[in-house]
Structure 1
Amino acid sequence: MLVMLTGAFGNLGMATAEALVRAGHDVRALDLDTKISRARAAELQRTAARAGINLDVRFGDIRDATYVRHAVLACDAVIHHAAILPPTTEHSPELARAINVGGTECVLRALEELRTPGRLIFPSSVSVHGPRLHERPPVTAATPTRGTDEYTRGKIACEEMIRASRVPWVITRVGVSPDPGASSVTLDTLRMLFRISPKNRIEYVHRDDVARAMAAAVTCDQALGKTLMLGGGKGCRITHYDLIQTLFDALGLGRVPFDAFGDESYYTDWMDTDEAQRLLNFQSGRFEDYQAELAARMRPIRLGLRPGRRALRWGFLSLVRPR
C-alpha cells in the first residue's frame, strides 16, 4: 500500500515513517523544506532502500491546495501529522489555526475530490477532554470534549470536520508522549509545568508505540469510523510528579519537594485503551523505558552538573516555584 505521511520529518513523523517501512508500506513523505527535513529524508531513504520500500519525498506547505492535491493521488491512506504544537500554538494562534485546522481542511478537500478516497488517520490528543484533576478516570472516546486553548480548540475542530466528511477515517487521541531527545525547554514552559498540581494523572505512551498504532490503522478496517485512545496502558499510568521527578533524576538533581508545585488542574488523565489495543496491538513500551532513555540522553549533562548540583537545584527551584 502507498501511504501519504504529512509532517514526516518531525519526531513522531519519523517514527511513523519507520513503522510504515517495517510494515512493508511504500511511503510518500510530506514536510517543509528545511535543513533538518533534508537530513532526515536522506536517513529515511537509506532505511527504505535497505527494506526494498519506495520512498517518495515531496517538500512543500500543507496549506498549499495544489501541492496537497497532487500528493494524495494514488494513495491508499493518509496519516496527517503536520501540525504546530504548544506553546507555539498559544503564542501564534492565527498561524496555528491556519496550519492545524487549515492544513487538515486542505487534506480533506483533496481526498474528497478523489472518486475513491483513501482513509485518513488523524492524531488528536487526550487534551481535548480539558482539565481532569477533579474528574473520575479514565477518559474514554465518549468523554465530552472541552477546548481550553488554541491547540485543543483546533484539534476538536479537526475531529468535527473529519467526521462530517465523506472520507473514511480513524481518529486517535494520543496520551502524553514526551521526546527524550528534546534539547531545549523555555523558562516559561518550566514555570507552567510547576504550576500544575503534582497529583494530575498522566498516561504515558512511547513515541514508537504511537507510530506502531498509526501504521496498524492503515490496514485495520475494524478501526474505521472509530475514535481510539492511544495510551501506554495500565503500566504507564503515572502522575505529574512522577514525570517531573524523572527529569530531576536524569539531571542528578535529587528529589523534587511536593510544595514546589502549584495546584492547577491540567488536561491529561489516565485513558481507557482497551479497544485501541485490541484493534491495533501497539502497546509495548513502559514508562521505565522513557526514564532509561532520558537518563542516557542526559548523562553528559548530569556529569557536568555534578560539582554544583546543590546550588543549581536550589536556583532552579527558586525560578520555577509558583509565585
Structure 2
Amino acid sequence: MSTNKRILVTGADGFIGSHLTEYLVRAGYDVRAFVLYNSFNSWGWLDRADAGIKSSLDVFAGDIRDPNGVRKAVQGCDVVLHLAALIAIPYSYHSPDTYVDTNVKGTLNVVQAARDLGARVVHTSTSEVYGTARTVPIDETHPLQGQSPYSASKIGADQIALSFYMSFETPVAVLRPFNTYGPRQSARAVIPSIITQIAAGQRNLKLGSLHPTRDFNYVTDTVRAFEAVMNSDQALGQVLNAGSGFEVSIGDTVRMIAETMGVEVQIETDEQRLRPEKSEVERLLADNRRLRALTNWAPEYAGVDGFRRGLAKTVEWFTDPANLANYKADRYNV
C-alpha cells in the first residue's frame, strides 16, 4: 500500500494514537487525526508534537459515539486505524455504561461508515479479552473471558467489527496488542505508576497485586504492527496478537525499573489498587506467530533485553521534569 493513501486515526490524541500518528506522518502518509472534542481545543498528546508534524495533520475534533461526526471523519479516507476507546479497568467498574457507548457503539459507528464509504479498518482489541490465560502462550483461538466491564466491552467491539467482515465483506482486521508501555502512557497503568512514584522521590511504593504476569510491548512495536496490518491483504478478517512473547511479573517489573533508575524501593500493597479477585487477569503471554506470518512485523523490544531497553527509554522520558509535571504521582489514578 503506497504512502499516498489517506489514513484516519481515531484516538489520535491518546498514548498509542499520538505515537502512531507521528510515525505515519514521518513515514509519508496523509493523516487525519480524530481527537475528542473539548472546549479547550486540546489535541491531547498531539499538542506536544513537533511543529512539522502538527502542520502536516488534518485534525478532526469530534466524538466517536456520534455516528454523524464519525461518518464525516471517514469521508475521503482509505484506511481507518480505530484506537478511540475507554481503557481504564478500574473506571469501568463504576462507569460501565460509558464503556458500552464508547467502545461498542463507537466501533459500530466506524465500521458502518467504512462499509458505506469503502474504507479499510484496523480495529484495536486488547489482550484483556482473553482474561486469565487458560493455556500459554495465548493464541487467537483462546476463549474470550469478560473479567471486567472494560474487557466485556472490547469483546463486544471486536465482534461488531468482525461481523461486518463476515456479513458485508467490509475490509476489517482486528489487531490485539498485549500490554503496551512507553512515553506518554497514563499513570493509571502500572509501569508509569512505578516510574512516577520513584521520580517523585518515593521509595515506599504503593502498588496492587505483584504476582500477575504480563507481556509488555514497547509502544513503537505496537505502532509498527498497525502499519503492517493495514498494508496486509492477508490480515483481512483476521484477529492478530501483537505481543513480545516475553512474560514478566509485576514484582519483577518493579525490580527492573528500580535497577534502571538506580534506587532501592519497598513495596506497600494499596488496597484500592487491588482488583476484585475474579476480575484480576493473572497471566498473559502472547503467541504472535500469526501476525509474524501474515505481515513483515516482528518485535524489536522482545525478551528480557528488549524489555530493559524499552524501560530505559520510558524512564528517560518520564524523568524529564517537563514530562513528569503532567502526572500526579502522589495519588492513585483511576
TM-score tier by shorter-chain length is 0.7 to 0.9
Q: Which deviates more, 148-157 or 260-269? A: 260-269
For 2:54 and 2:143, how far apart are their aligned partners in 1? 41
Root-mean-square deviation (Å): 3.3
Match of 1:284 among 292, 296, 300: 300
Q: Within 5 Å, which residues of 2 pair with 1:226-237?
A: 226-233=238-245, 236-237=246-247
Residue matched to 1:245: 255
Match of 1:103 among 97, 101, 106: 106
TM-score by length of 2: 0.76
- Counterpart CA distance in 2 for 1:67 and 1:44 is 27
Structure having the higher Rg: 1
The Cα of 1:245 is off from its aligned counterpart by 2.4
How many residue pairs are counted as aligned between the two chains?
Answer: 290
Match of 1:308 in 2: none
Q: CA deviation at 1:296?
A: 2.5
Separation in 2 of the partners of 1:176 and 1:209?
Answer: 11
What is the CA–CA distance in structure 2 between the aligned matches of 1:232 and 1:161, rounded to whole Å? 27
Instruction: Answer yes or no: is 1:2 the counterpart of 2:12.
Output: no
Alpha-carbon distance, 1:44 to partner:
5.8
| Mapped contact 1:251–1:298 kept (Cα < 8 A) | no
Q: Gaps (5+ residues) in structure 1? A: 302-315
Residue in structure 2 matched with residue 210 of structure 1 by the alignment: 222
Structure 2 regions of 5+ residues with no counterpart?
Answer: 195-205, 322-329
Please, which moves more after superposition, 254-263 or 276-285?
Answer: 254-263
TM-score, normalised via structure 1 length: 0.78
SS of corresponding position for 2:49:
helix
Q: Give the equivalent residue in structure 2 for 1:309.
A: none
Letter of the 2:290 counterpart:
E
Q: Is the 8 A contact 1:3 1:25 kept in 2?
A: yes
Q: Which amino acid aligns with 1:32?
A: L
Shift of 1:297: 4.1
- State the Cα distance separating 1:67 from its structure 2 match: 1.0
Supply the distance in 2 between the matched residues of 1:259 and 1:39 (Cα, whole angstroms).
31
Q: Which residue of 2 aligns with 1:295?
A: 315
Q: Is the 8 A contact 2:207 2:268 kept in 1?
A: no
Question: More helix by proportion, 1 or 2?
Answer: 1
- Match for residue 59 of structure 2? 57
Determine the C-alpha separation between the residues in 1 that align with 2:173 and 2:95. 28
Q: Percent identity?
A: 27
In structure 1, give the amino acid aligned to 2:288: T
Deviation at 1:253, TM superposition (A): 4.9
Residues 185-226 of structure 1 deviation map (CA, whole Å, 9 limit, x = unaligned): 499x99xx955352x332111111111111222211111111
Query: In structure 2, what residue type is equivalent to 1:21?
Result: V
SS at match of 2:180: coil
Quick check: 254-263 or 8-17, which moved more?
254-263
2:24 alignment partner in structure 1 = 20
